[in-house]
Amino acid sequence: MLSKYNTKPQQQHWAALKRVMRYLKGTQDFKLSYKKNPEETMTHGYCDSDWASSEDDRRSCTGYTFLFQGGMISWNSRRQPTVALSTTEAEYMSLSSCIQEALWLRQLQETFWPQLKSEPMVIYSDNQSSIKLAEFETS
């Protein structure tokens, strides 16, 4: 969000930047941890969006993350390229981005670890209408 104001920052942007820097300094010892658990070989993902969150252009924000053996291996958060007309559309675009990443992760797994049993990847979404729409599209 702050990078939008790089060319002409104002006082509130400097204050926000200082807050981000204090947060980073306070969390510099945090780390991702992975637990070797042979029973947990499945990667699973979570996706979400916030409908029309940008006050400037009313675009939604998409976010997803993927976990493997207790640790995050892939994540993304960005504004959607188009304006969603409903929460269902915003969530469905988020789900679509998440599935694209899941397919890429699956190809990566098959390339480097072909001996691993290929299990279905579970993706969690919290919007019932986009879930129903995705189920309808796959049937």
Per-residue H/E/C for 33-73 = CCCCCCCCCCCEEEEEEECCCCCCCCCCEEEEEEEECCEEE
Average pLDDT over residues 41-45: 81
Average pLDDT over residues 36-57: 79
pLDDT at 35: 75
| pLDDT tens-digit readout, 74-119 | 999 998 888 888 888 898 899 999 999 999 999 988 888 787 777 7
Taking residue 34's Cβ as centre, other Cβ atoms within 10 Å add up to 12
- Is 8 domain-assigned? no
- Is 6 domain-assigned? no
Cα gap 71→75, rounded to integer Å = 11
- Is 23 domain-assigned? no
State the pLDDT confidence band at 13, using cuts at 50, 70 and 90.
Answer: very high
| Of 40 and 103, the one with more pLDDT | 103
Domain range spanning residue 102? 33-138
Cα gap 111→2, rounded to integer Å = 38
- Is 116 domain-assigned? yes
- Is 64 domain-assigned? yes
Of 5-9, 26-30, 133-137, give the range with the top mean pLDDT.
Answer: 26-30
- Is 42 domain-assigned? yes
Contact 57, 83 (CB under 8 A): yes
- Is 18 domain-assigned? no
Count up the domains in the chain and report the number. Answer: 1
Q: Cα 60 to chain center, whole Å? A: 13
Cα gap 41→63, rounded to integer Å = 23
CATH code of residue 49: 3.30.420.10
Amino acid at 119: E
- As a whole number, the mean pLDDT across the chain is 85
pLDDT above 60 for 139: no
- Is 20 domain-assigned? no
